[in-house]
Amino acid sequence: MTNPTIALIEKRVSANRFDAGHVLSETEIAELARLAARAPSAYNLQNWRFIAVRTPEAKAQLRRLAHDQPKVAEAAVTFVICGLLPDHADIPTRLRPFTEEGFMPASMASGWEEGARAQYADKRAARDEAVRSATFGAATLIYAAEAMGLASGPIGGFDAEGVAHAFGLESHEIPVMLVAVGRAAPGNWPQKPRRPLHEVLQIS
């Protein structure tokens, strides 16, 4: 029997059609975000923020900022997945419960802080890390949604500046993608074709 997680990875599709009458409760939305935040992040920075857009007014505004794509408003909720430019000074706070419980020596947390300071001094490296962390969160959200019997559709085409302004993002918060989540409506495509494996895998 196929492992259920492998089966889920094999059957997941990026949905385009959602049941516009379906609603997700605050409890269900919180559960999706709780699981998304279990994703890995460099230095355990957890440099992400999830804005769950679910009122008709807020979804209509977001839809206008995303080339008027209907799924943004038809899905029960569309998340704005933000990556945060990493701030090395956050690291001691992020690791404190771990050092206090004795898993990690405090000196190691200081070493990580210094490592992050050096690694993200370069602006492009800092932005790359924001995109990486947000995408790890988005991917985990997508698989959590599948596990909860929900469909999802990541969206990269939107007006990032407009979204940042409309949702009051701070200057260190980058809207990396949108992810629509809800109940699938009929008419979604099957999973799109994949490139032959030999084109994407090299064994060295």
Cβ distance to a copy of itself smaller for residue 5 or 106? 5
Q: Which of residues 142-181 bind a copy of itself (CB under 8 A)?
A: 142-144, 146-148, 154, 156-157, 167, 176-177
CA dihedral 157, 159, 161, 167 (to 10 degrees): -100
Of residues 63-122, which lie at the interface with a copy of itself (CB under 8 A)?
A: 94-98, 103-104, 115, 119
Q: Which is nearer to a copy of itself, 3 or 107 (CB)?
A: 3
In the bound state with a copy of itself, the residue whose beta carbon lies nearer, of 30 and 89, is 30
1 near a copy of itself (CB under 8 A): no
Provide, rounded to whole angstroms, the least separation between the CB of residue 141 and a copy of itself: 10
What is the DSSP secondary structure assignment for residue 43, as one 8-state letter?
A: G
The 9-48 site mask, x for binding a copy of itself (CB under 8 A), equals xx-x-x-----------x--xx--xxx-xxxx-x-x-x-x
Write phi, then psi, for 108 (nearest 5 degrees): -70, -40
Residue 94 makes CB contacts below 8 A (sequence gap 6+) with: 43, 44, 45, 46
Verify binding: residue 186, a copy of itself, rule CB under 8 A.
no
Amino acid at 128: D
Q: List the alpha helices (DSSP H) in 101-196.
A: 106-119, 123-147, 160-166
Terminal Cα-to-Cα distance of the chain (whole angstroms):
31
